[in-house]
Chains A and B, each alone.
Chain A
Amino acid sequence: MPLSTAAGATASATMGTTVASAGDHPGFLSPSGVEIAFLLVGLVTLGAAVITVTTRQLVHAALWLVVALGGLAVEYLLLTAEFIAWVQVLIYVGSVVVLLLFGLMLTRAPIGRSPDADSGNRWVALGVAAAAATALVWVVVDAFRTTWIDLDGPAQGSTEVTGAFLFRNWVLPFEALSVLLLAALVGAIVLSRKHDTDTTVRPGPSGSPRSPGPSGSSGPSGKEERS
């Protein structure tokens, strides 16, 4: 097994990882500053992601998602992809999390702890996720243990470079993407519009529409009329 080549390295205990050192390459067992920063921000990101999927307070889950996505933006900055980092901050932290918070409020999510945030198949999900994490980390570490990213030189994701490759090589998919955004906009409007045929009560007890349910008899429909 190639992981056993790390046994000879004397400093492997300092990193506490099982990744083998290539020997002639610089730096994994004496990590550079960028790697240390990446590792620390990655730990924060991973912890925030774990809290996001395990917390019982739904609004806190959205706020921890902000931490996770912001940490990923910092990781993009460390990988010299500056434009993508700021797009990440703008779109994810700026709009997607706000949309999620609006969705939580419009569906009347409980503010405090909700005891039923996790469904019954929680342990099955934990098993599946642990198995997938083990397999993926093993394969990825085994495949890329002697691979190094060269971060020197000009930044590969600055705004100038991004504009050049996006509007020189990728302009047709870019325009197609605008059509997709327009379709998503129209679709969201159509889905959230109040249909006239749904509001009129059909005659007879069998064809009548469903009640809004146990969480409030006039809550969702009344809210929807105001909005």
Chain B
Amino acid sequence: MHLAYPAVLAALLFCVGLYGVLARRNAILVLMSVELMLNAVNLNLVAFDVWLRDTLHSGQALTLFTIAIAAAEIGIGLAIVLAVYRNRGTSAIDRLRDTAETDAAETLPDDAGTGPSGTDAAPNGDTTTATGRPGDNAGKNKKAEATR
């Protein structure tokens, strides 16, 4: 078998996964794309191991290790996604902007009309401060909330 077949397939699968990681919004779909990228690397490892006829079979051993590490990664990743969803109510990765540096980055693009009341409304009925403040003060209030 020509070596270009598995190598080209692995490269294309990796780039499909790369597109998924960059373009998807849901965090679980991003994890699926990461799995695609890891599988592309696995295919490369197996193909080159079979080509080289390595006596240690390093490629296949590394493939087994990569599969186990991917399983661990998907477990930890899903635990993190579920924890984020429990705290924030969303698993869209472009809405998690608490570590953004500028105030402009903290105002979400689709919250421009409604204000920041959806994400940081206080649960104890304190809705007047949450809905009443304008949108451009949301970052400052959030930072003041974080420093207290």
Give A residues with C-beta under 8 Å from B: 19, 27-28, 31-32, 34-35, 38-39, 42, 45-46, 49-50, 52-53, 58, 61-62, 65, 68-69, 72, 75-76, 78-81, 83-84, 87-88, 91-92, 95-96, 99-100, 102-104, 106-107, 109, 114, 116-122, 124-126, 128-130, 132-133, 136-137, 140-141, 144-145, 147-151, 156-157, 161-162, 165-166, 169-170, 173, 177, 180-181, 183-185, 187-188, 191-192, 198, 201, 205-216, 219-221, 224
Contacts and interface: CB of A to CB of B under 8 A. Distances in A.
Contact of B86 (A79, A118, A224): A224
B122 A211 contact: yes
Contacts of B17: 49, 53
Contact of A118 (B6, B23, B39): B23
B43 interface: yes
A151 B16 CA distance: 28
Contacts of B148: 206-207
A91 B69 CA distance: 11
Chain B interface category by residue count: 35 or more
Given A46-B16, A107-B28, A187-B76, A220 B85 contact: yes
Please indicate which of the listed interface residues A39, A136, A166 has the most CB atoms of chain B within 10 Å of its own CB: A136
Given A28-B2, A92-B70, A213-B88, 9 more contacts: A84-B60, A91-B70, A92-B35, A96-B70, A106-B82, A136-B15, A140-B4, A213-B89, A213-B119
27 contacts: A42-B9, A53-B29, A65-B36, A76-B46, A81-B46, A100-B32, A102-B78, A106-B85, A107-B85, A109-B28, A129-B19, A140-B11, A144-B7, A149-B3, A150-B53, A157-B46, A162-B57, A169-B56, A177-B65, A183-B72, A187-B76, A192-B79, A209-B123, A210-B87, A210-B88, A213-B90, A216-B89
Given A19-B4, A147-B2, A212 B86 contact: yes
